[in-house]
């Protein structure tokens, strides 16, 4: 089941949030228009909890943030080769633009997303 709800930031900085699972990650990412920031998290990870609170309020160049719980979705964790959390990836119009290697600040993530979108896209893992 997908839960889609607006997460409120300041003013116009509202970002849609989707909760994805092993069962729907591929279908959703292939079908969603625009840019998605895919974020793997876990409840036991303090950086993940902080990211969940902060990212939706930032004015990032994405149409949505797609959250996936690494603890409950081992298939996706294996396919995306997750070794640390939070792990971030950029997907645009169903095309995979790779991992996002950036500090968890609005400016670094904005720069990272913009750089990722210049890479040659690949198929989803």
Give the separation between CA 113 and CA 101, rounded to whole angstroms: 9
Check residue 68 and give its pLDDT: 98
- Number of Cβ within 10 Å of residue 84's Cβ equals 8
Closest CA to 60 of 1, 10, 119, 20: 10
Give the separation between CA 16 and CA 71, rounded to whole angstroms: 22
Check residue 81 and give its pLDDT: 97
Cα angle 23-28-30, degrees, rounded to a multiple of 5? 120
Structure confidence by residue, pLDDT tens digits, 88-104: 999 999 999 999 999 99
Superfamily of segment(s) 3-116: Glutaredoxin (3.40.30.10)
Check residue 25 and give its pLDDT: 98
Check residue 15 and give its pLDDT: 79
Check residue 71 and give its pLDDT: 97
| Intervals of the chain under pLDDT 50 | 1-12
pTM: 0.88
């Amino acid at each position: 089941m997908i839960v889609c709800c607006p997460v409120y930031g300041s003013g116009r900085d509202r970002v849609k949030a989707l909760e994805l699972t092993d069962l729907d990650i591929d279908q959703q990412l292939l079908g969603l228009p625009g840019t998605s920031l895919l974020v793997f998290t876990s409840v036991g990870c303090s950086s993940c909890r902080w990211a969940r609170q902060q990212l939706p309020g930032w004015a990032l160049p994405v149409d949505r943030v797609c959250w996936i719980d690494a603890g409950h979705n081992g298939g996706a964790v294996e396919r995306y080769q997750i070794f640390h959390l939070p792990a971030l990836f950029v997907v645009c119009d169903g095309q995979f633009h790779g991992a996002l290697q950036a500090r968890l600040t609005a400016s670094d993530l904005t720069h990272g997303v913009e750089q990722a979108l210049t890479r040659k896209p690949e198929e989803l893992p």
